[in-house]
């Protein structure tokens, strides 16, 4: 797919790193996470603070070319939907055999190169997290891949997503189902991370334009 331009920053990006929005039948702004809803859409880089800025600056009406109403907590809604989607994808990966749980199995999958990411419940004991972190560091120092760790969900949500009791540690295994779950986790994590400073980039673009006009 072609790149899309963020209505907040003006920077083009790949669709899988952005959130699409459309106008619903009642004129409310609706997030389209699957990029499939009909009608004119607009795009925002996947950062919650960018969505908040779009709401505050009333950018959706101009981008969608109609009168629309954006909920003040639209950023919160998008984050909740992304978390729900990531949990659902984890559940599918578990059914496909692409997720293992338990500290011992997670440690083993990290050390034997099967894991592409690990997850920790907020209730995880520091010692358990530390041991798995040591395994990740060992693999990286042996010229293996960097294995990211996520603490993306509220306490107990991994239990519900993975259909197992008392899930404190989990690992996503390589393969198509695992990669699909990984993409959703990365998108959620990106959304929770503040985007690049827009004012600095806008200033740089304006200076460049002025210099070009004077050449």
Spell out the per-residue pLDDT of the chain, length 215, in tens.
578 999 999 999 999 999 999 999 999 999 999 999 999 999 999 999 999 999 999 999 999 999 999 999 999 999 999 999 999 999 999 999 999 999 999 999 999 999 999 999 999 999 999 999 999 999 999 999 999 999 999 999 998 888 877 899 999 999 999 999 999 999 999 999 999 987 644 444 444 433 333 33
- Where do you find CATH 3.30.1330.30 in the chain? 79-191
43: alpha, beta or left, given left = phi > 0 and alpha = psi -120 to 50? beta
CA angle 27, 28, 34 (to 5 degrees): 115
| CA distances in angstroms from 71 to 16, 44, 51, 56, 114, listed in the order given | 23, 16, 11, 10, 42
Strand partners, 32: 20
pLDDT in tens, 46-89: 999 999 999 999 999 999 999 999 999 999 999 999 999 999 99
DSSP character string of 176-190: HHHHHHHHHHHHHHH
Task: Give the integer Cα–Cα distance in Å for 84 and 78.
Answer: 10
| CA distances in angstroms from 139 to 10, 53, 86, 94, 147, listed in the order given | 39, 40, 26, 24, 8
Task: Give the integer Cα–Cα distance in Å for 136 and 68.
Answer: 47
CATH of 79-191, one of 3.30.1330.30, 3.40.50.620, 3.30.420.40, 3.60.15.10: 3.30.1330.30
- Where do you find CATH 3.30.1230.10 in the chain? 1-70
Q: Could you tell me the fold of the domain covering 1-70?
A: Hypothetical Cytosolic Protein; Chain: A; (3.30.1230)
pTM of the model as a whole: 0.86
């Amino acid at each position: 797919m072609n790149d899309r331009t963020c209505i907040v920053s003006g920077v083009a990006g790949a669709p899988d790193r952005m959130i699409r929005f459309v106008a619903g039948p009642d004129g409310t702004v609706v997030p389209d996470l699957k990029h499939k809803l009909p009608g004119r859409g607009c795009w925002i880089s996947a950062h919650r603070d960018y969505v908040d800025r779009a709401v505050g600056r009333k950018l959706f009406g101009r981008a969608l070319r109609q009168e629309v109403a954006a909920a003040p907590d639209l950023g919160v809604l998008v984050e909740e939907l992304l978390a729900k989607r990531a949990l659902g994808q984890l559940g599918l990966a578990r059914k496909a055999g692409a997720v293992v749980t338990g500290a011992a199995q997670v440690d083993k999958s990290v050390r034997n190169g099967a894991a592409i990411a690990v997850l920790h419940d907020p209730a995880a004991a520091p010692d358990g997290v530390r041991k798995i972190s040591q395994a990740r560091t060992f693999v990286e120092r042996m010229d293996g891949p960097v294995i990211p760790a996520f603490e993306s969900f509220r306490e107990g949500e991994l239990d519900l997503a993975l259909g197992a009791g008392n899930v404190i540690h989990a690992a996503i295994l390589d393969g198509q189902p695992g990669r699909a779950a990984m993409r959703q986790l990365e998108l959620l994590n990106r959304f929770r991370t503040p985007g690049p400073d827009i004012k600095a980039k806008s200033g740089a673009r304006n200076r460049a334009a002025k210099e070009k006009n004077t050449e």
